[in-house]
Amino acid sequence: DRRGLIENRRASAALVAGLNALMAPGLERSGLPVPPVEAKARQGCLLLPKGEEPLQLLPVDPERLEAQVAALCQQLLERGLMLQQGEHQRPLRAGDLCLLVSRHDQAEALRSALEHRQLPSRLVSRGDVFESPGAAALQRLLDALASPGLPNRQRLLAASALLGWSAAEIAAAPPERWDALALQLADLASRLPRQGLTAVLGQLLGTAGLARLSLRGRALADLQQAAELVQEQMHRQGLGAAAAADWLRRLRLEEQRDPPEEHLCRSDAAESAIAVVTVHRSKGLEYPVVICPHLWRAPKPARSGAQRLGRRWTPPGQAQPRLDLHLNPHWGPGRAAAAQHQGAQLQEAERLAYVACTRAQHLLVLGWPGEQRAEPGNPLTPWLAQADLPLHPIEAAALPPPGQPSTSRCW
């Protein structure tokens, strides 16, 4: 059962259909296919006008890109678009928008353009998700899945944010209620190897649990991010519930740990401001609207005359990489090493483009300067070269003109 690997639990059905079409060529430079996925999200939908696709293309002029993106953000907030969440609707807010960039200078330029239109923004910078209450609650679940019949682990799980039993409920719970919980945990433990941790977590919480946690600010986001990261380790290392619980416990108790970027909390973005975040830090993030202004750019090759000290590369005919301390990128082995490095950078840019495009829940906007102005080797060209993509072109002339500050107060 590989359902956890072919389901998208983030994006709406309409956006998943668009992403499946966009990424049908796969990651060509990496030689990796991108199989179509099935939409399994529960986050509602963004109500777009009839005929408007959720995968959209913004024509950009590289010289005016930041101003054009800020104008698009203003237009999105002034259009009166509504987010449908269950039986409730609310207007699209600034905190629903995310701008994904490659570098911090791109982030600051975009934030400056947003400020000119009086739109709030925040550069997302996060703490360690494994120090969050969400990770502590996940620890309770893994411990209980490892030993479903142990009463003390049942009680710790019941008292956690996942089940939310009060002290009075725990004290008054009859044996039948504990037996039912033990049976539920045993069933979930049996499903864990086949369905994955995130699926099991969703089944434990159910719709009511998800709604309850969503009212607790960052708790749900931290819990989901920690679960995704633990699930990745379970898949990579072949861990069962007990081993995964031990792995998480060691990580949480480790002192003076320098967390990698993917462990930084995705929940610290201000809900009242447009999030601006690097693609590297976006892994695990999700936003109703994601705008990618710079995916048409490509990594820069070594500059003319530049020297690089300590190039790690794999020479032709050798199985293992080596570190060469002095290589000129323009001749001999140095040129081969530089070409290998550039190829690896292009592959990484392709993978990061995939990450960026899959952060959106309801609407994805790609900036595009046209084929002639897009940088050679950029990750978008192979995708956009396809015919008949379900792609909605944004009319640049319809964007708010320069000097017109936002009238929206959706933040």
What string of DSSP letters covers 82-110?
Answer: EEEETTEEEE--GGGEEEEESSHHHHHHH
CATH number at residue 162: 1.10.486.10
pTM above 0.85, yes or no: no
The token duo for 377 is 């080797």
Other CB atoms within 10 Å distance of the CB of residue 82: 15
Q: Is residue 305 part of a domain?
A: no
Q: Is residue 337 part of a domain?
A: no
The pLDDT value recorded for residue 179 is: 96
Q: Is residue 326 part of a domain?
A: no
CATH number at residue 106: 3.40.50.300
Name, in order, each residue with C-beta under 8 angstroms of 24's C-beta and a sequence gap of 6 or more.
Answer: 34, 36, 386
The pLDDT value recorded for residue 324 is: 62
**How would DSSP label each residue in 138-159?**
HHHHHHHHHSTT-HHHHHHHHH
**In this structure, are 113 and 181 located in the same domain?**
no
Q: Is residue 313 part of a domain?
A: no
* Better-scored residue on pLDDT, 138 or 345: 138
Q: Is residue 199 part of a domain?
A: yes
Query: What gap in Å lies between CA 297 and CA 379, rounded to an integer?
Result: 8
Which among 362, 384, 389 is positioned nearest to 39, based on CA atoms?
362
**In this structure, are 93 and 136 located in the same domain?**
no
**In this structure, are 158 and 107 located in the same domain?**
no
**In this structure, are 94 and 176 located in the same domain?**
no
**What are the phi and psi torsion angles at 202 (to 5°)?**
-60, -40
The token duo for 191 is 């499903």
Q: How many domains does the chain have?
A: 2
What is the band of 125 on the pLDDT scale with cuts at 50, 70, 90? low
The last residue of one of the domains, among 235, 261, 287, is 261
**In this structure, are 178 and 240 located in the same domain?**
yes
Q: What is the DSSP letter of 28?
A: T
The last residue of one of the domains, among 211, 241, 261, is 261
The last residue of one of the domains, among 205, 237, 261, is 261
**In this structure, are 175 and 244 located in the same domain?**
yes
Query: What gap in Å lies between CA 182 and CA 403, rounded to an integer?
Result: 62
The token duo for 176 is 């039948």
* Mean per-residue pLDDT, 324-338: 65
**In this structure, are 198 and 284 located in the same domain?**
no
* Mean per-residue pLDDT, 312-325: 70
Q: What is the pLDDT of residues 8-39, one digit of tens each?
A: 878 999 999 999 999 999 999 889 999 999 98
308 burial class (0-12, 13-18, 19+ CB within 10 angstroms)? middle
Q: What is the pLDDT of residues 214-255, one digit of tens each?
A: 656 567 888 988 999 999 999 889 999 999 999 999 988 876
Percent of the chain scoring above 90 in pLDDT: 59
**pLDDT at 176 > cutoff 90:** yes
**pLDDT at 310 > cutoff 60:** no
**pLDDT at 311 > cutoff 80:** no
Q: What is the pLDDT of residues 373-409, one digit of tens each?
A: 999 999 999 999 999 999 999 998 889 998 776 666 5
165: domain range?
129-261
**pLDDT at 304 > cutoff 60:** no
What is the band of 309 on the pLDDT scale with cuts at 50, 70, 90? low
Query: What gap in Å lies between CA 286 and CA 214, rounded to an integer?
Result: 14
Q: Is residue 68 part of a domain?
A: yes
What is the band of 270 on the pLDDT scale with cuts at 50, 70, 90? very low
**In this structure, are 212 and 276 located in the same domain?**
no
CB 3 within 8 A of CB 320: no
Q: What is the pLDDT of residues 59-89, one digit of tens each?
A: 999 999 999 999 999 999 999 999 998 788 9
Q: Is residue 218 part of a domain?
A: yes
Q: Is residue 220 part of a domain?
A: yes
Strand partners, 57: 366, 393
**What are the phi and psi torsion angles at 343 (to 5°)?**
-60, -40
Query: What gap in Å lies between CA 318 and CA 77, rounded to an integer?
Result: 55
**In this structure, are 209 and 91 located in the same domain?**
no
**In this structure, are 232 and 281 located in the same domain?**
no
CB 29 within 8 A of CB 343: yes
Residues in the chain, total? 411
**In this structure, are 187 and 236 located in the same domain?**
yes
**In this structure, are 275 and 389 located in the same domain?**
yes
